[in-house]
Structure 1
Amino acid sequence: MSTITTQDGVDIFYKDWGPRTAQPIVFHHGWPLSSDDWDTQMLFFLEQGYRVIAHDRRGHGRSSQVSDGHDVDHYAADAAAVMEHLDLRNAVHIGHSTGGGEVARYVARHGKGRVAKAVLISAVPPIMVKTDANPGGLPIEVFDGLRAALAANRAQFFRDLPSGPFYGFNRPGAKVDEGVIANWWRQGMNGSAKAHYEGIKAFSETDFTEDLKAIDVPTLVMHGDDDQIVPIADSSLLSVKLLKNGTLKVYEGYSHGMCTTNADVINPDLLAFIKS
């Protein structure tokens, strides 16, 4: 397996496919998944001649199940360690959900001179939790409920989430894909319960406002208007206003997991933005 070791001794697994001379596209996965969640996109862009890279966040997938560092600063620093190891430049960084927050912080703090463009898909910025400054956010009780469900029965919780709201399979008339559900469960259960538990605080309570303001590369913000996990009104609709060079694309009726369920639409749109 391809891994790098961070300064604090964490082994980070990564995939690196395609010509070393091609423009790199880097994919940042969501909670509680792994780089495998990007397989459809990586194969698509590989066929288009790009170099594609994705890593497993610490505590997720095949990376070390360490006790500490399950916060966005460490997530971004770990990503930076992979980018520096591979010496990636002129890269396009694409992040889904929590991975979108990771992209925002990576680009803002570590990406100078290395990043060409960024994409935030169904992403958690600016901040998910309800606060005085973010009255449209979700109450902390929502995230406390996620933690309680994970601690009580992670295996069942990781069946219920993809079977229902993550992919919109709970909507009337939805075509349920058992393979997609099983793959989500497989990825989640490969990771660390501690990393997943603490990751809920990371994705819900981190404020990415200043990161978004600091990003100056062209950034595409993509979101489904039927996202039941990260509601669009308090995420992408706000994020695009904070970006210096942001473009918003809203997908009617699409779910949080639209990269998987609607890859036939999402992948060409990503390609068009990268080529633009």
Structure 2
Amino acid sequence: MLSHTGNATDPTSFIATSDGGQIFYRDWGAKSAQPIVFHHGWPLSSDDWESQMLHFLGKGYRVIAHDRRGHGRSSQAVDGHDMDHYAADVAALAAHLDLRNAIHVGHSTGGGEATRYVARFGRGRVARLILIGAVPPLMLKTTGNPGGLPIEVFDGLRQQLAANRSQFYFEFASGPFYGYNRPGAKPSQAVIWNWWRQGMMGSAKAHYECVKAFSETDFSDDLKNITVPTLVLHGSDDQIVPVADSAPLSAKLLKHGTLKIYEHLPHGLCTTHPDTVNADVLKFISA
């Protein structure tokens, strides 16, 4: 159970977890409007959704985003860095805010969090789900998932994080996350440093353990259990969550899944191409 520690008129607030943590969230817009809940990627924060939040706030929606435990402004929890805890935190937030008929939008790791939340806790509260560059069904290569990435890839992420997190995050944002390592790309230093800033706000331990959560969690059963209409968006040049072993497989497991692949777009497409993504999300949720 979580308790509220902000005030009713404050657009940014915290809720306290039963294990002593604090989860930061922002809640903008009329309480009577349909809510959209945004779930951020690793190792970022709710700041990563600002362009989407402002856009959909302007369209008359109530927009909500939180910093996952151990990320951003939320407290640096020692434990609970797994999808079950992440989803339970969202469930407690949704219950506290009494969110009904909600739309959940998850990017990357946040897509896994949103998937587990909707599958386990969303009945009666969720209207639609949007997964963008999301980690489901399963990133890790296994006997049952031969197209996944080998464990050495994720071991490498952990090793780089532990050795020099600041340098690793700078290089990650400067290269594959936004496709800035591609020929002809025009890197935005402001975007790179904003990514770095968000990452360095969080807990190194939480980020380290989250690698296991986003790479080794199998969301196949969650996807099968989701009954709400779901839009699956992915860039064909996603170097972080390769498209072939993610979006098309998720769409097949969903009861009411719609798949759209953007040619040549990177993992961080919500930042590099917000107008494109926002338009497709708005069309889907307005239908």
TM-score, normalised by the number of residues in structure 1? 0.99
**2:232 equivalent to 1:214:** no
**2:243 equivalent to 1:223:** no
Q: How many residues align?
A: 276
User: Letter of the aligned partner of 1:111 in structure 2?
Assistant: G
- From 180, 199, 205, the equivalent of 1:194 is 205
Equivalent residue for 2:93? 82
User: Letter of the aligned partner of 1:167 in structure 2?
Assistant: Y
**Cα distance, 1:8 vs structure 2:** 2.1
What are the within-5 Å matches in structure 2 for residues 163-202 of structure 1?
A: 163-202=174-213
C-alpha separation in 1, matches of 2:162 and 2:238: 25
- From 15, 20, 25, the equivalent of 1:14 is 25
Superimposed CA distance per residue, residues 106-133 of structure 1 (whole angstroms, 9 cap, x where no aligned partner): 0000111000000000000000000000
C-alpha separation in 1, matches of 2:156 and 2:196: 19
Equivalent residue for 2:55? 44
**Cα distance, 1:5 vs structure 2:** 1.2
**Cα distance, 1:66 vs structure 2:** 1.1
- From 107, 116, 136, the equivalent of 1:105 is 116
Please provide the CA RMSD for this pair. 0.6
C-alpha separation in 2, matches of 1:184 and 1:160: 11
Secondary structure at the counterpart of residue 250 of structure 1? strand
**Cα distance, 1:7 vs structure 2:** 2.4
Q: Percent identity?
A: 72
Q: Which runs of 5 or more residues in structure 2 are unaligned?
A: 1-11
Secondary structure at the counterpart of residue 93 of structure 1? strand
C-alpha separation in 1, matches of 2:252 and 2:283: 22
What are the within-5 Å matches in structure 2 for residues 13-32 of structure 1?
A: 13-32=24-43
Superimposed CA distance per residue, residues 60-99 of structure 1 (whole angstroms, 9 cap, x where no aligned partner): 0010101100000000000111111100000000000000
TM-score, normalised by the number of residues in structure 2? 0.95
Secondary structure at the counterpart of residue 12 of structure 1? strand
Equivalent residue for 1:57? 68
Equivalent residue for 1:125? 136
What are the within-5 Å matches in structure 2 for residues 232-243 of structure 1?
A: 232-243=243-254
Any runs of at least 4 consecutive aligned residues in structure 1 with deviations exceeding 3 A, and if so which?
A: none
